[in-house]
Structures are given as structure tokens and as C-alpha cells.
């Protein structure tokens, strides 16, 4: 399939028809030059290739062609590689020029392999060029039809929900066990008379209450204590925030004055 993959005309070193637009970068040019050595890419002489490339670039310069930077970078690198390869072995820098040369050779082999693979791929029997499928197939159609699934229970439940949702709503407050404020005032008032010394408020609550009732009793007893204190019937003391609350019977006014 030469029409699809036109191999780049291999340049002859003696014929400098230089056109850098036809090369896709220095590696491409190097590969084309390597192929003029007419040997397996594994056998090419990198030194010879380097000289070919440098001569090519030189020719281009004499023709005052503008050269892309990457061609010049490659030329500089190859000039370095060439001098390194010519150095006596002990004076060779790291990495060794042999390794650099081998690396270049491996890269050229890989590019060449892919170029050939691409050409072979393009040469296969391709749909629309070599083999043909039907121009206007009728097409297969898959029509999906929903099969609705619902049970009688689902429907009744839905109806029940509609009814429940739209029925007038009657709010009813549940009766919860509480200690009323009156109860608490009576209870605390009666008990505080017996307590001459400071006594924790908890001691004024009935024992054996369940949790909600205990809370209610505490709340009511506290409010009762405040009310009784306002009436001057008891004193309240708390050392600090969240500290225990103590109650005791109020000191008669004349005694308080005596103490003061």
C-alpha cells in the first residue's frame, strides 16, 4: 500500500536535496539516513550515521536553510557522541559513549518497527476500502416495553396513605405523669420546716420515682423553692454554676439582724 505509506525517499549523501519539512524531527531523518547504510538496523555504524547527519546538517547550512532547533540540538549531541566514541577507552566519560550509541540504535529500531507495523496495518483488508458491509442495513430493533408491577396490597396501602394524609388531623396531647407546682410547694414547704441545716434539694424529692417523673419533680421542686424563698419561708444556697442546690428553713428576720 505504497499510496498510503510513502516511504521517505532515502537521501543520497552526494545529493543534497535538502528539505527539512519532509522530516518529522531529527530521529526521522536519522532513521532515513540509517537506511541508506543498507544493513540491518542492528548492524548500523553509529559513527558513520553521526557523520552522515552532521554532513547533512552542514549542507543545509551552506544552503542557508533555516534549521529547527531540535535538528541543531541533535547535531551537537551527535558531535559530542562522535568525539567521545573516538576517545581512548580509559578517557571515556559516563555514561559510556557505547551505551549512548546503543541507546540511539535501539530507538531507531523501535521507530522503524512501528513505522513498518503501521504500514502493514494500513495494508490490511479494511472495511470500506477492501471489504464492504451492507450500505443500508435495516437494523435490529429492540423495543423495551414496561410490564408494570403492582400488588393489591400496594394499592390498598397507597389508598390508606392518601386517606390518612388528607384526613383532618386531631392533635391530642398525651397525659404524662408530672408533679404540679402546687404539689411541690406543699411538699417542699412541709419538709423544709424539718430541715434546720442546709439540705440538698434532691432530698426533698419523693424516692423511687421513674426517670420522667423524677425530672418533673426536680423541676417543680426548684420552682417551688424559688417561690418559697420569695415568700421568705426558706433560703437557697448554691456555691457556683451547676453546683448542688441547698435549701433550709428561713432564718427569722430578728435573728438575721442579730447575726449581722
Partner 1 sequence: MTQEPDDFLRAVEAALFVTEEPLTLADLRLHVGEGGDLPGALATLEQHYAGRGVNLVERGGRWHFQTAADLAHILRREREENRKLSRAAMETLAIIAYHEPVSRAEIEAIRGVQVAKGTLDVLMEAGWVRPAGRREVPGRPLIYVTTVEFLSHFGLSSRRDLPGMDDLRAAGLLDPVDLALEGLNAQSAVENDEEEA
Closer residue to partner 1 (CB): 137 or 240: 137
Closer residue to partner 1 (CB): 120 or 200: 120
Which one-letter DSSP state was computed for residue 133?
-
DSSP letters spanning 96-130? PHHHHHHHHHHHHHHHHHHHHHHHHHHTS--BTTT
Residue 200 is a binding residue for partner 1 (CB under 8 A) = no
SS3 131: strand
Q: Are 105 and 49 in contact (CB under 8 A)?
A: no
* Residues in region 145-164 near partner 1 by CB under 8 A: 145-152, 154-164
* Residues in region 88-127 near partner 1 by CB under 8 A: 99, 102-103, 106-107, 109-111, 113-122, 124-127
Residue 240 is a binding residue for partner 1 (CB under 8 A) = no
Q: Are 256 and 210 in contact (CB under 8 A)?
A: no
Residue 237 is a binding residue for partner 1 (CB under 8 A) = no
Residue 144 is a binding residue for partner 1 (CB under 8 A) = yes
Residue 63 is a binding residue for partner 1 (CB under 8 A) = no
Residue 232 is a binding residue for partner 1 (CB under 8 A) = no
Angle, in degrees to the nearest 10, between helices 181-192 and 211-230? 70
Size of the site for partner 1 (CB under 8 A): 71
Q: In the stretch 160-199, what mask flags binding to partner 1 with x, by CB under 8 A?
A: xxxxxxxx-x------------------------------
Residue 208 is a binding residue for partner 1 (CB under 8 A) = no
Q: In the stretch 12-51, what mask flags binding to partner 1 with x, by CB under 8 A?
A: ------------xxxxx-----------------------
Residue 9 is a binding residue for partner 1 (CB under 8 A) = no
What phi, psi does 234 have (nearest 5°)? Answer: -150, 165
Buried b (16+ CB within 10 A) or exposed e, 127-151: eeeeeeeeeeeeeeeeeeeeeeeee
Burial of 162 by CB count in 10 Å (0-12 exposed, 13-18 middle, 19+ buried)? exposed
Amino acid at each position: 500500500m505504497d499510496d498510503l505509506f510513502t516511504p521517505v525517499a532515502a537521501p543520497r549523501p552526494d545529493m543534497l536535496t535538502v528539505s527539512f519539512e519532509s522530516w518529522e524531527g531529527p530521529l526521522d531523518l536519522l532513521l532515513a539516513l540509517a537506511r541508506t547504510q543498507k544493513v540491518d538496523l542492528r548492524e548500523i555504524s553509529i559513527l558513520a550515521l553521526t557523520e552522515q547527519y552532521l554532513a547533512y546538517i552542514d549542507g543545509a547550512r551552506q544552503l542557508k536553510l533555516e534549521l529547527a532547533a531540535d535538528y541543531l540540538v541533535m547535531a551537537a549531541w551527535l558531535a559530542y557522541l562522535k568525539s567521545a566514541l573516538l576517545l581512548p577507552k580509559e578517557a571515556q566519560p559516563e555514561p559510556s559513549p557505547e551505551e549512548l550509541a546503543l541507546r540511539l540504535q535501539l530507538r531507531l529500531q523501535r521507530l522503524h518497527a512501528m513505522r513498518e507495523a503501521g504500514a502493514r496495518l494500513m495494508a490490511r483488508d479494511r472495511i470500506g476500502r477492501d471489504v464492504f458491509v451492507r450500505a443500508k442495513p435495516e437494523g435490529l430493533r429492540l423495543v423495551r416495553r414496561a410490564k408494570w408491577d403492582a400488588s393489591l396490597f400496594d394499592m390498598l396501602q397507597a389508598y390508606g396513605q392518601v386517606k390518612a394524609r388528607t384526613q383532618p388531623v386531631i392533635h391530642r396531647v398525651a397525659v404524662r405523669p408530672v408533679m404540679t407546682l402546687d404539689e411541690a410547694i406543699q411538699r417542699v414547704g412541709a419538709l423544709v420546716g424539718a430541715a434546720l441545716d442546709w439540705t440538698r434539694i434532691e432530698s426533698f424529692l419523693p424516692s423511687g420515682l421513674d426517670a420522667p417523673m423524677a425530672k418533673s419533680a426536680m423541676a417543680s421542686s426548684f420552682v417551688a423553692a424559688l417561690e418559697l424563698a420569695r415568700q421568705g419561708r426558706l433560703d437557697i444556697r448554691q456555691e457556683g454554676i451547676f453546683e448542688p442546690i441547698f435549701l433550709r428553713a428561713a432564718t427569722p428576720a430578728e435573728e438575721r439582724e442579730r447575726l449581722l
